[in-house]
Amino acid sequence: MSEGISVLRAEYLEEQRKNRRAVTFWRWALLLLFFVGWEAAARAELIDPFIFSCPSRMAMTLASLFSSGELFLHVGTSVLETIAGFILGTLAGTAIAVALWWSDFCSKVAEPYLVVLNSLPKTALGPIFIVWMGAGPGAIIAMTLAISLIVTILDMLNGFLETDKEKIRLMRTLGASKLQILFKLVLPSNFATMINALKVNVGLSWVGVIMGEFLVSKAGLGYLIVYGSQVFKMDLVMTTVLILALSAALMYRCILWLEKALKKYMGVTV
């Protein structure tokens, strides 16, 4: 391995390695410093742990959530709602974008509606969904859909319309039908757009789920946060926010893995 490598190259690689290690070190150090500082400030009574909580109390809260099994109930509920939301949002958004790509007329008719719906703050629709669908997961998933659907439609449609004109010309001379152009050119060439929509929708779905759970719910991380703040259990609120951050980051990671796997499966190199 190290044969064939010039001294300069070896030095460069060593430099890179050192640099990477320093970055990793400081990332963890910063985290540790933050929590230690927080704990110390609470112990020294610089901040009131009743209001600001502190890591040791959060750890205790986490342990009790874990042992009572509540942790899995709440994390599971929110995660399932989010997954349902972003899969539905991405699929429905893509399907509607396909329909609009297919028919120029429909897309012209839909345009002003998309513009208005896109600029509407979707959270305003929350109470309506609750009335329509009852206080439960249905309303929460509807909330996530409302947030992610329009953006998905617009992004996907844009991608579809930017499909290389020369490639479409080529497909047509090879006798392709519109359906074949869709499945063999437009969709595969927009693979990256779709993955991107998926990534954006994970984030948006979390917003929708937490918003929804704030409004109505008997379980979920959003519920815990609202409940905790109402009974003034700040330890519970802070712990939940931390769990939420970890869950959301982990889910995003999963999407990155999925992207990698799909790319490998499809042999995509772009």
Of residues 91 and 268, the one with the C-beta less far from other proteins:
268
What is the C-alpha separation between 104 and 246, in angstroms, rounded?
A: 43
Pick 151 or 181: Cβ nearer other proteins = 181
Least Å from the CB of residue 197 to other proteins: 18
Quote the tokens at residue 206: 């979390």
Cα Dmax for the chain: 78
Check if the beta carbon of residue 207 is closer than 8 Å to that of residue 78.
no
Cα dihedral 76, 78, 80, 82, rounded to 10, equals -150
- Closest distance of CB 270 from other proteins, Å: 5
What is the number of H-type helices and E-type strands within the chain? 13, 0
**How many whole angstroms separate alpha carbon 127 and alpha carbon 124?**
7
CB-CB neighbours of 98 under 10 Å: 17
Q: Considering the complex, what minimum distance in angstroms separates the CB of residue 111 from other proteins? A: 16
Residue 228 tokens read as 């905790």
In the complex, which residues of this chain contact other proteins (CB under 8 A)?
Answer: 164, 166-167, 169-176, 180, 184-185, 188-189, 191, 266-270
CB of 161 or CB of 246, closer to other proteins: 161
Judged by CB, which is closer to other proteins: 107, or 247?
107
Residue 172 or 253 with smaller CB distance to other proteins: 172
What is the nearest approach in angstroms of other proteins to the Cβ of residue 152? 21
Among residues 33 and 170, whose Cβ is nearest to other proteins? 170
The distance of closest approach from Cβ of residue 254 to other proteins in the complex, given in angstroms and rounded to an integer, is 23
CA distance 92 to 33: 44
Instruction: For the CB of residue 194, give the shortest distance to other proteins in the complex, in Å.
Output: 12
The three-state secondary structure class of 162 is coil
